[in-house]
Amino acid sequence: MAVTTRPVDLTADLGFLRLRNPVLTASGTFGYGLEFEPYLDLAKLGGIVVKGLYYHPREGNPPPRLVETPSGLINAIGLQGVGVEAFAAKVLPRLRAIDTAVIVNVCGADDDEYAAVVEFLDAQEGIAAYELNISCPNVKKEGACPALAPEPTFELVKLVKSVSRRPLITKLSPNVTSIIEIAQAAAEAGTDAVALVNTFLAMAIDLETRRPRLGNVYGGLSGPAIKPIALRMVHQVASRLTVPVIGLGGIMTGADALEFLVAGAAAVEVGTASFVDPDAAARIIGEIVSWCEAHGVAAVRDLVGTLAVP
């Protein structure tokens, strides 16, 4: 007798947005998406979070911009980018043709710029949501950003929410004493979801020259080295807040992604793994399916927040 099994229901529910599956690509690690077209079918992704956009084209930091550390990567790119006009003219039309959720990571040097980026993008079609980047540690030398304290987080989220016609995901920094307080501030200001975590402020030293290895001195640490800390923060926030959580930090495998879901994330973002394997996000989706099949899980979203804490 042939055994028939129903395919695993991969859909992820963020409330304001239903995704084909819970795997998004993390901003800053997936370019503008199109760079990856030769390596994977972008329509298979839950969504693409494109590289952070300032209003105007941006120069970024002087090199060296990258340094590898054990199971991790410190970057100090400094959000070099093309600006909203070039994005809307050259990139967005091509992304729009791909059947996946396009989420634009929004940056700003000050409140006005954040608002201007959102207002400009609001006039463009084909964007599912914004991810508010208030947490990039390597734009300013000491890693200063609004996401380091509740008040500026609240103020900025509130402002952007008031000018935006689209759902807002606020991406938080892990470089804080209480991630819960910051997430609460974002939630109170009306964010539709929080994404955590951005990179950890870090540095590397060349002992021979006794100089920093990065042109910017400090940068943001990502990769498998940060996963346990990111997982803890996702669990802390997801178990206390009602706003949906998107988890990221060192996800390299399907099992890593599933751990974040069990910890309470409604969806995940794959970051540094895409540098190592441009098709990592697609592989991770496949591994999630295999795991669910092997464990008799009918719907991936049923796993969200199922961590049994003693």
Partner 1 sequence: MTIERDARLREVQSWGSFFRFGIDAPAVGKDARPGQFVMVKVSDGTAPLLRRPLGIHDADAGGFDLFFSIVGRGTEALSRKAPGDRLDVIGALGKGFTMPAPAEGKTAYLVGGGRGIAPLYFLARELARAGARPIVFYGGRTRDEIPIRDRFERAGIEVRCSTDDGSFGFAGFVTALVDQELIKSRPAKVYACGPDRMMKALAGITARHAVPAEFSLESIMGCGIGACWGCVQRIRNESGDGWVKICEEGPVFPGERILWP
Contact footprint for partner 1 (CB under 8 A) = 28-31, 35-36, 38-39, 51, 59-60, 62-68, 70-73, 75, 77, 80, 223-225, 252, 272, 274-279
Nearer Cβ to partner 1, position 59 or 112? 59
Contact yes or no for 181/194 (Cβ under 8 A): no
Q: Which residue has the tokens 């006005």?
A: 112
Residue from 107, 136, 145, 292 carrying the catalytic annotation: 136
CA distance 19 to 3: 29
Q: How far is the CB of 73 from partner 1 (least distance, A)?
A: 6
Contacts of 91 (CB under 8 A, 6+ apart): 32, 33, 34, 50, 82
Contact yes or no for 193/167 (Cβ under 8 A): yes
Nearer Cβ to partner 1, position 173 or 274? 274
To the query of whether residue 136 is one of the catalytic residues in this protein, the response is yes
Nearer Cβ to partner 1, position 21 or 75? 75
Q: How far is the CB of 68 from partner 1 (least distance, A)?
A: 5
Q: How far is the CB of 69 from partner 1 (least distance, A)?
A: 8
Q: How far is the CB of 161 from partner 1 (least distance, A)?
A: 29
Length of the chain: 310
Q: Which residue has the tokens 């990111």?
A: 230
Nearer Cβ to partner 1, position 71 or 290? 71
Rg value, the chain, Cα: 19
Give catalytic residues, as residue numbers.
Answer: 136
